[in-house]
Structure formats: structure tokens, C-alpha cells
Amino acid sequence: MKTYEDLEGDGGSNIIGQVVQLGEKLRSRLDKIKHKVALMSGKGGVGKSSITANIASCLADRGYKVGILDADLNGPSIGHLLGVGNDLKLETKDDGIEPGHGYQGIKIMSMDMLLKTADTPVMWTEEADATAVWVSTMESTAIRELLADTNWGELDYLLIDMPPGSDRIDNIRSLIPELAGAVEITIPSMLSQHIVTKSITKNNKMGVPIIGLVENMATYVCPHCEKEGKLFAGEDVQKLTERKEIPYIGKIPFDTRVSQSKSGSLFYSEFKDSIAGKAIAETVDNIEKFIKK
């Protein structure tokens, strides 16, 4: 029996050719997309996916062609937010897999769409002792395939809904070196601000352009009188942006109607004239200004 070391070259697997071919396919997909923007939080529970979905809604409302890649493989939610469930039968054509078409025609690809049922967990391996490195490698490969195999077509914006944690930006930056930038999202709590500073520091060290910081749940809006009140105790987030020397691009209040929106119906499209709706629009204004520079 021959060992791997006994084989000449790649043993006929043409692995180098396969890698090159995959890279070319990925490049051909990305070249049709004008702007790629990562939305990240460093910490879970700050409303990142909801903000991503409503920013997409605002962009679509302005006439842009928009897609969302749900890069949160273990906790995907974009499909649910935009009304694309597990019952969607993905169509495979010669040029790739057709993405789901959610609310307002927003194209999406999410791990959730590949699972049998809504409550099926993502299991990378049956082995209980699988190393973090091995799981991380499989996640990185999955994201690459979701990007390369999906027939995104021509888009003005591809929003990438990142998983919690600052380490996942490494994969995205290696796959999309022309990333327009990252939008950091936090809430006013001290813990969330503490964690988001780590994400900001890492992006600065990696040379990832930071479009700016969005403060979600900055206040709450009374459903009866439309007045705003304080929701979390914590240092002024705007001071954090001044300290880290990044733009403060959005202050979005908590509106109970955000969480009450039915699957497939986005808050912004229904309540664009509300306080929170106008705040989302202002955030998108600032993202567009950054990109137009």
C-alpha cells in the first residue's frame, strides 16, 4: 500500500486545478456585484440581523438591486426575516444555484434554506471531539461555496450578515479582498461597547475599512405617544466613536413593531416615516456617502 508521500504529484486528483477553478468561479460572481458590505457586532443579541434586513429594505426601496449572504451559519435568521423558509425548493441551473427571493425582491442565501426543517440544527460533524480548527475550516469552506455557487447575478449591494465575534471577518476578507467596508453594530450597554471595541481594533489592524458604528436600541419609542426614552444605562456611544476615530453613522431607537413584524414583512417598508424608520434611512444615507467617496 502506498502512502501519500509515495504518490507523484497530486495522485491524479488535480486538486490545484480544482482550487483555481473554484477561485475563478467565485471571482466571476463577485465581479458582477458593485458593493460588498459586512455588518458585524462582535456580540450577539444586538439586533444585527434585523438591522441588516431593514438596511436591505431601505436600499431596495431606493431602487437598488440587493442581496444578503447570511454568514451566520450556526444561527441563520435572514431567511425567516425575509419570508424564505425551508419549504423553498432551491433550483440548480448550469450557472449555479438560484438564490431565494425574499421581501421586495431581495436575493438571499442562507444555511437555513438548506436544512430540512426550521428546527434542524447545523451539525458540522458527528464527532464530539472535533477540534475547533476543523470546524472553523468547514465553516470557511461553506461560506466560500455559498458565495461561489449562488447565482447572484448583477447586484448593487451584497450585504453580509456576519456571525457574532470579531474572528470571522478573516474568512470574508480573504474571499472578498475588495470589501467596501464593515458596519459595526452595538447597543448602549457597557458590555456590548466593550466587545465591539475589540472588533473595531481588529478591523483596523487588518486594514478592513470601517464604514462606521451604528447604535441600535439607542432609546425606545413609546407606542402611544411616540416619545423616546432611555433603554440602557451606559456611556455615550458617540464618545466611543470619537475615541476610536470612526464615524458615528446611525442612532436607531427600539420600536416594538420591529419584533412584531411578520415573517417576510420588513419594518422599514411599512413604517419608513416612523422615528426608527427615519433613523434607518439616515444610516443608509451615511453608508452611501462612505461608498461614494
State in Å, rounded, how far the first CA of the chain is from the last one: 61
Q: Pseudo-torsion of CA 236, 237, 238, 243, nearest 10°?
A: 100
Q: Is position 234 within any domain?
A: yes
| Number of domains, the chain | 1
Q: If you average pLDDT over residues 187-208, what whole number do you get?
A: 90
Q: Is position 56 within any domain?
A: yes
- Mean pLDDT over each residue of the chain, to the nearest integer: 84
Tens of pLDDT along 110-166? 988 887 777 777 665 555 555 544 455 667 788 888 898 999 999 999 999 998 876
Q: Is position 282 within any domain?
A: yes
For residue 173, name the pLDDT band (cuts at 50, 70, 90).
confident
Q: Is position 10 within any domain?
A: no
CATH number at residue 270: 3.40.50.300
- What residue numbers bound the domain in which 97 lies? 21-292
Q: Is position 126 within any domain?
A: yes
Q: What is the pTM of this model?
A: 0.86
Cα 31 from chain centre: 19
Q: Is position 190 within any domain?
A: yes
Q: Is position 183 within any domain?
A: yes
For residue 99, name the pLDDT band (cuts at 50, 70, 90).
very high
* C-alpha grid cell, residue 16: 490545484
Query: Are the C-beta atoms of residues 67 and 157 closer than 8 Å to each other?
Result: yes
Q: Is position 4 within any domain?
A: no
Q: Please name the residue that has the C-alpha cell 447565482.
A: 151
Which residues are bridge partners to 68 per DSSP? Answer: 108, 159
More confident residue, 257 or 263: 257
Query: Are the C-beta atoms of residues 20 and 144 closer than 8 Å to each other?
Result: no
